[in-house]
């Protein structure tokens, strides 16, 4: 080997070795983590999202396993134990009829979370089914769906909810139906907008050229690419519906008072004497509502950051 070429060959070999080491580390990392776990890893690295997930899981599990955590019946009246302050026997105290508030918070969480999460999922199903197909197909069907959604979204949601509750009556099923009817418009618009941006992609044009049916292209091949913002919207809708249920029940227009919910527990706080002298009736349940809503919002923010392609690193 000649002298002038030897340093060049040696320098190239050292650089090649460095590139080989870098390539091997990258391949080892991809093989270990997998391509689909990058979003999960980014979500878990978000401290607020992880905190929200832990709080969310604790409240969900406590509500599901309420019989294991408290021996009290949430609807059992004990006139001899009225308005007792928090103690080792009654962790959150008792209300004006002697019912254990800790038991009512746990069992009430079942109904409140069912209303919030169930309504959000039902609204998402309706909005996604309509928005994905009409956004891809377009035409008069898309225009009709848009006009219908505009009718529902032209009214302030709380006013529309109050009006429908007065017409349909108070019940758990009616409240979930009302939340679903008033909440599908937002996620429909989100799904539709996502389809409008995806339907001109090259893979969609290729699938169309192969003669695949419109529903198959829209729901099987395009919808998975829009699930990120849809999941975020479900979390935000869940928090909003839980707050609306609490507000309606506080006003006496939500779930019937015979059913323990977080909002029905707060209903007794309308009395100024309760607010001033019996803080344990409204403060613990108000804290649980705030923590749950915050946890859901933190989870939604974490999902948004983890699934946003523009923030992938």
- What integer pLDDT is reported at residue 33 of this predicted model? 47
Mean pLDDT comparison of 34-38, 84-88, 120-124, 172-176, highest-scoring range: 120-124
Joined tokens for residue 156: 């302030």
Q: Where are the domains of the chain?
A: 120-313
Poorest-pLDDT segment among 56-65, 71-80, 288-297? 71-80
31-67 pLDDT, tens digit each: 454 444 677 787 788 888 899 999 999 999 999 998 9
The pTM for the full model equals: 0.77
Query: What DSSP designation does 79 have?
Result: G
- What integer pLDDT is reported at residue 8 of this predicted model? 45
Q: Which is the CATH superfamily of the domain at 120-313? A: MetI-like (1.10.3720.10)
Identify which has the larger pLDDT, 309 or 44.
Answer: 44
In angstroms, the CA 181 to CA 111 distance is 19
CA neighbor of 307 nearest in space, from 205, 194, 199, 200: 194
- What integer pLDDT is reported at residue 205 of this predicted model? 83
Whether the predicted pLDDT of 124 surpasses 50 = yes
Query: What DSSP designation does 222 have?
Result: I
Question: 28 vs 33, 37, 45, CA distance in Å?
Answer: 9, 14, 20
In contact, 172 and 219? CB cutoff 8 Å:
no
Spatial CB neighbours of 269, under 8 Å, sequence gap ≥ 6:
250, 275, 281, 282
In contact, 216 and 199? CB cutoff 8 Å:
no
């Amino acid at each position: 080997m000649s002298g002038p070429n030897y340093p060049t060959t040696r320098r190239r070999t050292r650089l090649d070795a460095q590139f080989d080491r870098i390539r091997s580390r990258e391949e080892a990392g991809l093989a270990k983590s997998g391509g689909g776990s990058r979003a999960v890893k980014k979500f878990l690295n978000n401290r607020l999202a992880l905190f929200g997930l832990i709080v969310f899981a604790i409240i969900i599990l406590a509500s599901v396993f309420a019989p294991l955590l408290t021996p009290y019946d949430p609807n059992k009246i004990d006139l001899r134990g009225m308005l007792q302050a928090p103690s080792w026997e009654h962790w959150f105290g008792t209300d004006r009829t002697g019912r254990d508030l800790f038991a009512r918070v746990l069992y009430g969480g079942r109904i409140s979370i069912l209303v919030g999460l169930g309504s959000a999922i039902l609204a998402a199903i309706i909005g996604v089914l309509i928005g994905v197909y009409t956004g891809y197909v377009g035409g008069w069907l898309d225009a009709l769906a848009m006009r219908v959604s505009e009718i529902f979204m032209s009214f302030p949601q709380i006013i529309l909810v109050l009006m429908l509750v007065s017409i349909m009556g108070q019940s758990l099923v009616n409240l979930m139906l009302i939340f679903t009817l008033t909440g599908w418009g937002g996620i429909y618009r989100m799904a539709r907008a996502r389809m409008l941006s995806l339907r001109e992609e090259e893979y969609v044009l290729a699938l169309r050229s192969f003669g695949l049916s419109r529903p198959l292209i829209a729901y099987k091949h395009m919808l998975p690419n829009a699930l990120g913002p849809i999941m975020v919207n479900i979390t935000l809708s869940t928090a909003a519906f839980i707050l609306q249920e609490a507000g309606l029940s506080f006003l006496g227009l939500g779930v019937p008072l015979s059913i323990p919910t977080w909002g029905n527990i707060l209903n007794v706080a309308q009395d100024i004497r309760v607010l001033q002298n019996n803080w344990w009736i409204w403060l613990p349940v108000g804290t649980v509502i705030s923590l749950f809503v915050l946890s859901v919002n933190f989870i939604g923010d974490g999902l948004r950051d983890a699934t946003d392609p523009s923030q992938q690193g």
